[in-house]
Amino acid sequence: MKLKQRVVLLAILLVIFIFTKVFLIDNLDTSAANREDQRAFHRMMTGLRVELAPKLDHTLQSPWEIAAQWVVPREVYPEETPELGAIMHAMATKKIIKADVGYKGTQLKALLILEGGQKVVFKPKRYSRDYVVEGEPYAGYDRHNAEVAAFHLDRVLGFRRAPLVVGRFVNLRTEIKPVATEQLLSTFLTVGNNTCFYGKCYYCRETEPACADGDTMEGSVTLWLPDVWPLQKHRHPWGRTYREGKLARWEYDESYCDAVKKTSPYDSGPRLLDIIDTSVFDYLIGNADRHHYESFQDDEGASMLILLDNAKSFGNPALDERSILAPLYQCCIIRVSTWNRLNYLKNGVLKSALKSAMAHDPISPVLSDPHLDAVDQRLLNVLATVKQCTDQFGMDTVLVEDRMPLSHL
């Protein structure tokens, strides 16, 4: 064999060797990632049920100190949380030392300070569990139980980006009114034999108060994030206009995702994949009202998208608002870990896991069966959407490794 032929043959063999080695390494890495995702899923399922108990035997720290230390740029709470039951017990039972009107917004809420100085947001019960909110996907009052359910779905999905939420019963006459600010107190009234209040917000009206059952009001309390982590508000790139007859650009521009990818903070870092995760999360809970979102300040796109204000969900189990998934089906990318987790949760596992996670909440049952069945059905629609993407563009393009730089997208 001539020298030139030998060189060509060696070059071909070298290319084949390098390709094979890279291919095998990639497969090994993928398999290792899949195995870790599976182990994480099993750990989540094992620790899913949270019994509210006051004991913190292994530490002298308060529940509030522990919860504050959990918060880091990419998660609100860690994967393993043996203290979660004690923190949620404190949220549901600690003495209320001050009550005020809620922070600015469109919906009724109250800002409470619990013993030990911890701030929580209280959202009152407006609807019975089986009430169906008709009309637009964002119609109606906030649903307090939706906040509880959304937090536990965040746990089940392994996102860990939602602040802690628990149900709580409060006596408006003995627990709230004696420590209420004048501004909040001025919104109290009596309707029949029930104590009510309407608070201060954009849509708050004296004619539409939230009323207790007698003096006892059911609601949800959301743990305030630590002040050392100030929030920054962003307009959601797939937000609605909320104007009749006026469409947002994403509703008519098929290449809209390409434009988003060229815009900070979506042109690099994890934010675009967070948007995709959030679209899945919002579709599962039926939340079409995320026109803005929050991250931590000065994060240069590295912070998580924090799953705040999830109460405009679980209103109508028949709702199938596919437009919530627009970031997913327009960009056709999704994290490998999210894809794996969604697949582990099919065949009724999601409904069972969510029901188990919420079983010990003080306001259990948190969701009616039609809502739990709806979440399972919506999951199938998410999986079908991803399959359409992979059929069109291939698995390697659609499934993005979590730690992969996003410049290639």
- Does 225 show up as a binding residue in the annotation? yes
- Does 309 show up as a binding residue in the annotation? yes
Position 33 scores a pLDDT of 73
Q: Name the catalytic one among 37, 100, 277, 289.
A: 289
Tell me the C-alpha distance between 191 and 195, whole Å: 7
Kindly state the DSSP code that residue 107 receives in the 8-state scheme: S
Element holding 217 (H helix, E strand): strand 216-223
Phi, psi of 144 (to 5 degrees): -65, -40
Contact 371, 317 (CB under 8 A): yes
Contact 381, 322 (CB under 8 A): yes
- Does 46 show up as a binding residue in the annotation? no
Tell me the C-alpha distance between 183 and 199, whole Å: 8
Element holding 400 (H helix, E strand): strand 399-400
* Three-class DSSP category at 146: helix
Per-residue pLDDT tens digits for 86-145: 999 999 999 999 999 997 788 999 999 999 999 999 999 999 999 999 988 889 999 999
User: pTM for this one?
Assistant: 0.90
- Does 388 show up as a binding residue in the annotation? no
Per-residue pLDDT tens digits for 328-378: 999 999 999 999 999 999 999 999 999 999 999 999 999 999 999 999 999
- Does 95 show up as a binding residue in the annotation? no
Q: Are strands 110-114 and 210-211 parallel, antiparallel or unpaired?
A: unpaired
Tell me the C-alpha distance between 386 and 333, whole Å: 8
Position 18 scores a pLDDT of 35
Angle 271-285/369-393 helices, nearest 10 degrees?
140
Per-residue pLDDT tens digits for 316-326: 999 999 999 99
- Does 56 show up as a binding residue in the annotation? no
154 is catalytic: no
Q: Is the pLDDT of residue 287 over 60?
A: yes
Kindly state the DSSP code that residue 306 receives in the 8-state scheme: B
CA distances from 386 to 20, 383, 408 (A): 29, 5, 19
- Does 13 show up as a binding residue in the annotation? no
Per the structure block, which two tokens stand in for 204?
């708050």
CA dihedral 164→166→171→176, nearest 10 degrees, is 10
Q: What is the mean pLDDT of residues 228-233?
A: 95
* Three-class DSSP category at 121: strand
- Does 111 show up as a binding residue in the annotation? no
Per-residue pLDDT tens digits for 241-284: 888 889 999 999 999 999 999 999 999 889 999 999 999 999 99
Position 3 scores a pLDDT of 52
* Three-class DSSP category at 170: strand
- End-to-end, the C-alpha distance of the chain in Å comes to 46
Per-residue pLDDT tens digits for 181-194: 999 999 999 999 99
Tell me the C-alpha distance between 185 and 155, whole Å: 36
Contact 197, 184 (CB under 8 A): yes
Position 132 scores a pLDDT of 95
Contact 97, 120 (CB under 8 A): no
- Does 38 show up as a binding residue in the annotation? no
Position 6 scores a pLDDT of 55
Position 123 scores a pLDDT of 98
Tell me the C-alpha distance between 70 and 75, whole Å: 8
Contact 152, 145 (CB under 8 A): no
Per-residue pLDDT tens digits for 27-50: 434 567 788 888 888 888 888 888
Per-residue pLDDT tens digits for 5-21: 554 444 444 433 433 33
